[in-house]
Structure 1
Amino acid sequence: MQPRIKFIAFDMDGTFLNSQNDYDRKRFADIWEQLQKRGIRVAAISGNQYQQIRSFFPDIHEQMTIVSEVGSVIVENGERIAEYHFEPDVVADLIALLAQKNLLHRCSISGLKALYFARNAPEDFKQLITKHNYEWQEIEDLTQLPDDRFTILTLDVPEIDIQALVAELNATGKGSARAVSSGFNFIDIVHPSVNKGVAMDFLAKRWQIEPSEIMAFGDSDNDLEMLAYAGYSYAMAGSPESVCQAAKFQAPSNDVSGVLQVIEEMVLS
């Protein structure tokens, strides 16, 4: 028996997108059209910047919902309907700590207008963050930020005790910022109320949809709350054990369009 699904959400990197950072566009276009006819909501939910996620859906981004920066910004039909940003003094305290530890050159700060990083950042760091952020600015000094509302700080800190730094950042944040290890020597610092599960709950209540009517797909630890929330949650093949435990089912790999396969078989067939 097919589930009655009213809302489908998917992470982007490692989930919806393949290893070539793309997806089967014709196949998805056909699926999208069928989902629209059935009144099924669709949301891309990612840690990446809104402008970057939007670029993958040039023809339909104003008809879909996009949740960016791990849930910090929610855009529906091209309009921002929710955002979570830091108070200025919290950002200043975090930057002061990073400056004291000589880590500002390996930090980027996302705002609603753009992502910012220091001109003296290493080239490998610049290449990595500009790949996932389409609106960005190099600035001389992160202690002198432009006028913006800031949603997430990202650190790339190889050869450092990650857990010790996370603990120190959380102490500095004083409950107004939450630092989490995101793997591969990265730390994300977000608003304490932010995660993908919170964003999904916000949308479900807005649309009057029950968790049992939601299908979600993910592959990493920042998907855990979303996968736990959705009644039909799928870990992509090859996901870490923590993700597989949080999800109720497993989907084929992102390199064989696993998300699209499951939607076709479980929702549209």
Structure 2
Amino acid sequence: MDQPYRLIALDVDGTLLNDEHQLTEGTKEAVRLAHEAGATIVLCTGRGPSNSFYLMEELGFQGVLIAHNGAATVMSEDKRLIHSFAYHMHDLAGLVAYCRETGIHYDANTAFDMYIDRITPREQDMYVKYGIRPIRVEDVVMLQEPVQKFTMFGTMERMDQLEAEWPQIGCEMSPIRSGDFFVDVMHPEATKGNALKKLAESLAVPREQVLAVGNYYNDIAMLEFAGLGVAVANSPDKVKEAADLVTVSNNEEAVRGILEQYVLGSR
């Protein structure tokens, strides 16, 4: 029997990984079997490549990675940038000034590197948790290289306030909530859905044969694009509403269950 889902897009944090940021053995095995069965597995994450490639190695394969919420599509074998939605930091000078005035931590991300110009022990702990080594510069606004993502980090309440105050900040680009404690600023066309669509077209895979699993607002576009969009149980209601199906939580091996039911069961 032909495999109905040839392209499988998996969000990482809150979906593929459990709340301890662990990849369980059962999930690893299911992903490996799906890969061996001929499916193209692509991690679709808000993370950058540097702290995502190790997961692909753990899963036992190399290939395409959709990083920075769809702003950068890269090849893991040779660290090659396949496609990018980027902008320049001078476009965010007003937003950076706002962050400095209000004490919000931020980082600027190019395709493969992260830059900061200030840090406290709290943010340092966060970077260690996610396996990130940011590069310290004097002023991120002065970066010459195009950036794919600008991320702000704080308490859930502070990020809620940031979103509420956005119209007064004067930033022409829109924010996207990528986690309870994170707000990202992306190129207007940079979404996981757009990146997944471009990848599917390049592989000649119709959207009906695309399966996507996610858990947060930055996953909505890819869940809506996929032939089967699956939200895990720990997703906010808006994400569940955008999905075709709601499954168990990330702490219950949601990805494993979906792959066993919709991919491996069809072999």
TM-score bucket (shorter structure)? 0.7 to 0.9
Q: 1:184 aligns with which of 180, 184, 191?
A: 180
Tell me by how many angstroms 1:56 deviates. Answer: 1.6
Q: Does the aligned pair in 2 maintain the 1:5–1:267 contact within 8 Å?
A: yes
Counterpart residue identity of residue 246, structure 2: Q
Provide the aligned C-alpha RMSD in A: 2.6
Partner in structure 1 of residue 145 of structure 2: 148
Partner in structure 2 of residue 10 of structure 1: 10
Post-superposition Cα deviations, 1:21-64, rounded to whole Å, max 9, x if no partner, equal 11124x44543443334321111001111111111222567623
Partner in structure 1 of residue 216 of structure 2: 220
| 3-state DSSP of counterpart to 2:205 | coil
How many residue pairs are counted as aligned between the two chains? Answer: 260
In structure 1, what is the Cα distance between the partners aligned to 2:263 and 2:108?
39
Q: 1:154 to 1:247 in 2, by over 3 A?
A: same
Pairing 1:122-133 to 2, within 5 Å after superposition:
122-132=120-130
In structure 2, what is the Cα distance between the partners aligned to 1:187 and 1:33?
32
In structure 2, what is the Cα distance between the partners aligned to 1:110 and 1:172?
18
Partner in structure 2 of residue 240 of structure 1: 236
Q: Does the aligned pair in 2 maintain the 1:48–1:133 contact within 8 Å?
A: no
Q: What are the ranges of 5 or more consecutive residues in structure 2 without an aligned counterpart? A: none
| 3-state DSSP of counterpart to 2:229 | strand
Pairing 1:74-93 to 2, within 5 Å after superposition:
74-78=73-77, 79-93=80-94
Deviates more, 1:245-254 or 1:6-15: 245-254
In structure 1, what is the Cα distance between the partners aligned to 2:245 and 2:30?
21
| 3-state DSSP of counterpart to 1:233 | strand
Post-superposition Cα deviations, 1:148-188, rounded to whole Å, max 9, x if no partner, equal 3311111135565323432245x433xxx332344535321
Q: 1:102 to 1:249 in 2, by over 3 A?
A: closer
Counterpart residue identity of residue 193, structure 2: G
Partner in structure 2 of residue 197 of structure 1: 193
Counterpart residue identity of residue 68, structure 1: A
Determine whether 1:67 maps to 2:63. no
Tell me by how many angstroms 1:88 deviates. Answer: 4.7
In structure 2, what is the Cα distance between the partners aligned to 1:88 and 1:263?
40
Q: 1:242 to 1:55 in 2, by over 3 A?
A: same
Post-superposition Cα deviations, 1:122-164, rounded to whole Å, max 9, x if no partner, equal 221232244335241233443444x533111111355653234
What is the identity percentage for the equivalent residue pairs of Structure 1 and Structure 2?
A: 23
Q: Does the aligned pair in 1 maintain the 2:31–2:259 contact within 8 Å?
A: no
Q: Does the aligned pair in 2 maintain the 1:113–1:135 contact within 8 Å?
A: no
